[in-house]
Structure 1
Amino acid sequence: AGGPDENPRYSKTLVGGVNLFKKYELDCLFVASNCPGRSAYNMVERRMAPLSNQLAGLILPHDYYGTHLNDSGKTIDSTLEIQNFKRA
């Protein structure tokens, strides 16, 4: 369960670990993570909680210069997407 920051068995995490192992010619590489559901003990998440609380419900305009999405929500104009992102 969880994404790459929570699951050391996630394929991208494994590939990253293998690359580090080879690049630095390590003898051993340890990968550790918190138990699922224990984010209250994660120092980074604890520090980010006030910011997350303040930003909850904030809606950034994504189409200030016009929509860059089609009806399916896929990007059809990359330049316009970047302009809208910078404005938001």
Structure 2
Amino acid sequence: MTPKRVFRYVEYAIRQDPTGELSWAVQCVSGDESDCGASSGPLIGETPAVRWMSNHTAATGHDRYKRTFTDYAITQPKG
């Protein structure tokens, strides 16, 4: 009897794409009863994200943030 299906399993390595643009976004989650909610929007590079948090803390006294990092990834077969 011949097989009707052939399954080929390939393992992949995942790495960051060095040509992809990295971005950060920051949202203020400080507040007593509800989060402040102020958001930086997308920022290119970590330095602007740190600057945004520093400026927001200086202006409001808020000190708790949710940071989101976005990158591009490449998959390549292992082996």
> TM-score under structure 1 normalisation?
0.29
Larger Rg: 2
Structure with the larger strand share: 2
**Larger RCO, structures 1/2 (Cα 8 Å, 6+ apart):** 2
The two structures have a TM-score, normalised by structure 2, of 0.31
Q: Which is helix-richer, 1 or 2? A: 1
